Structure formats: structure tokens, C-alpha cells
Amino acid sequence: MLVARPEDRVKQAELDTVLAALKKDDAVRKAKADKDFAAWRAQASPSSIVAKELPAGWKFDAETPLTVKTPTGPALTAKAIGKPAYNKKQGGFVLDGSSAYEHATLGDFEKTQAWAVQVRLKMTKTTNGAVLARMDEGNNYRGWDFWIENGNPVMHIIQTWPDQALKVRSAGAIPVNKEVEIIATYDGSGKPEGVKFYIDGDLQKNLVDTNTLPANATIRTTTPFRYGTRSKAGATSIVLVSANIIRPWLKPVTSPPWARSPNSAPPSVRKAPRPPPPPSPCCGATTTVASINPTNPSWPKSRLPRPNSTSLKVAVP
């Protein structure tokens, strides 16, 4: 039992009075908030909550292989390109370099818009190719993609390759034969520092391969969005378990709340205690992060808020 010293009892009495008043105010605020929330909930609808496109998420499974769910509208039907295969043992879409799922309306972003992509995948060997893309390879690669290059995540944002383009690569590689979560974010700035990669929650250092995107560039294309390829070809040796497109970030993201220090190792490989990372600047009232995977609520919550040289010839980005 803690007993105040005689010289502190006057102060304790003052604090007890203040605490009692604060508790009373808190109860009044709670009662008002509950009443206001009940009134809002009675008339709320998706259109009153969000007026713009929010996440489009896809969990690849055998039961619904051709639908993508969105929180503010009906499920969208995909078009199968080639012969997409399903991995029955692990679950997921097997990327073979040519098969894909295609959506005409998804991922129609402009260079000035912010967006993010999130995938869970397993890379069975070090590979190269597109995982998600809205890119017209026949028109100087106009558009954007989430690409893997020698096992490293890459984002391309292109008006014309390579003279009007942005290519940023993660310094960290995707581990082989391990299912991981990768998130790539873009803030709409058109600058390399506007792209961030997270692998299982760890912020990666960036490597800038191409930085020639003009301020007035446009990257929009009528080419449909695809899971698995660009307009023609994509990655191989990957099992894509789930994928999400998230737009817009409601406020600028400097370091999403699932990120750890760029230099911190994943807990599974840490060999000695490390000092705690500095507080993230993201977690105050100025940052809002959209839902990461609206289609797979069974994921552990601990994982959520939880991502070349050129010559005279035009190189493939």
C-alpha cells in the first residue's frame, strides 16, 4: 500500500480533485460520442464514408479465381489471359510469364496520384518480371508496374522509356522459398524518394536506376491492369497468394506504421538484442493508412500495420 508523505498530502488531495473532475468530463464525452456515433451509423452508407476509390484486394483461391472485391461497390469480374494455374498445395496464382488476370478499370493512375500495392508471394528461385502492372509495352512501356529484378522489388513509373521514366529498386532482395509480404508505396511526387519498399515490414534502402521523369509527364494508358504480366510478359517462378491495390493514401505517408527501422533485421534472424528503433514519425494524428487486405480478414492482425544500364538501343525496363 502506498501512503503519501505528510508534506505531499495537500498536493495529493488537489490531484484527487482534479482526477475526479477529469473522470466526470470523460464520462460526459463518452456519452455524447456514443450518441453521435449511433446517429451517424443509422444513416451511414459507403458513399458517405468514402467518395474515391479505396483498396481493391484479391486473395487467389480455387473457389473464386476470377473476382476482385472492392469495399465500395460490386465485385469486378476478371478476364483470364492464357491458362492461369492454381497452386493447390500452397494456395495462390502460379506466375508463368504469360498467363494473367486482367481488369480494364483497375490501376488507372496518373503520375501525380499516390498509390500503393501489397502482395503476399513465394519466389521459388531468383527471377525477373512483372507481378502487377498497367503498362503498354508496345507504346514505349507507358504506365506503371511492380516488377522483380534479380529478386529485388522494383517500381517503374513511365511516360516513355528510358528518357521520361522513373525506376526505383529495393536494395534488399526477396528471400527464396519463403512466403513474404511486400509493400511498395508511391506518394505522387514523381521523385525517387517518393517510392518506398517494405519486405515483411522492414523498410528497404532505395537504389535509383532511372530518374528522367519530367514534372509534366503523364503515365496513363488504356492498356488494362494485369495480375501476373505487363501487356505482354511477366515474371515466372512465383506463387502469388494475394494482392491489393490501395489508392489514395488519405494523407502523405512518410513511414507507415508497419515499418521498422531501415537497419533492423527481422526478428527471426536477430542474433542479439538491439536497441529499440526511434519512434516512427508516421504514427501521430497526421497519418492515415488505408486497409491493407480487405479480402482476407483471417490474416493475423500482427502482420498488418505490419515493400540498368542503357545503351543507344532502347533497353527493356
Tell whether 59 is covered by a domain. yes
**How many other C-beta atoms lie within 10 A of the C-beta of residue 266?**
13
Q: Is 289 left (phi over 0), alpha (psi -120 to 50) or beta?
A: beta
Tell whether 276 is covered by a domain. no
- Indicate the pLDDT class of residue 189, thresholds 50, 70 and 90: very high
Range picked from 176-190, 235-249, 267-281, 294-308 for highest mean pLDDT: 176-190
Beta bridge pairs of residue 149:
152
- Indicate the pLDDT class of residue 297, thresholds 50, 70 and 90: very low
CA 222 to chain centre: 23
Question: Residue written as cell 449511433?
Answer: 38
Beta bridge pairs of residue 94:
85, 239
- Indicate the pLDDT class of residue 295, thresholds 50, 70 and 90: very low
Question: 3-class SS at 268?
Answer: helix
What is the number of structural domains in the chain?
A: 1
Q: What is the pLDDT of residues 41-65, one digit of tens each?
A: 777 665 555 444 445 566 665 545 5
Question: Is the pLDDT assigned to residue 139 strictly greater than 90?
Answer: yes
**How many other C-beta atoms lie within 10 A of the C-beta of residue 176?**
13
Tell whether 21 is covered by a domain. no
Q: Terminal CA-to-CA distance of the chain, rounded, Å?
A: 70
Handedness of CA 65, 70, 71, 72 (dihedral sign): negative
Tell whether 154 is covered by a domain. yes
Tell whether 60 is covered by a domain. yes
Torsion angle of the four alpha carbons 248, 53, 84, 64, in this order, in degrees rounded to the nearest 10: 130
CA separation for the pair 50, 250 (Å, rounded): 10
Task: Provide the residue range defining the domain that includes 189.
Answer: 51-264+281-303
Question: 3-class SS at 86?
Answer: strand
CATH of the domain at 209: 2.60.120.200
Tell whether 317 is covered by a domain. no
Minimum mean pLDDT among 6-15, 118-127, 226-235: which range?
Answer: 6-15
- Phi, psi dihedrals of residue 23, rounded to the nearest 5°: -60, -40
Q: What is the mean pLDDT of the chain?
A: 76
266-271 CB contacts, 8 Å cutoff, 24+ apart: 266/200, 266/201, 266/202
- Indicate the pLDDT class of residue 302, thresholds 50, 70 and 90: very low
Asked whether the whole model's pTM tops 0.75, one would answer: no
Tell whether 135 is covered by a domain. yes
The pLDDT value recorded for residue 103 is 87
Does residue 275 or residue 132 have the better pLDDT?
132
| Spatial CA neighbour of 259 closest among 116, 130, 128 | 116
Tell whether 5 is covered by a domain. no
Q: What is the pLDDT of residues 87-105, one digit of tens each?
A: 877 778 899 999 998 888 8
The residue-averaged pLDDT of 174-195 equals 95
| DSSP structure class, residue 246 | E
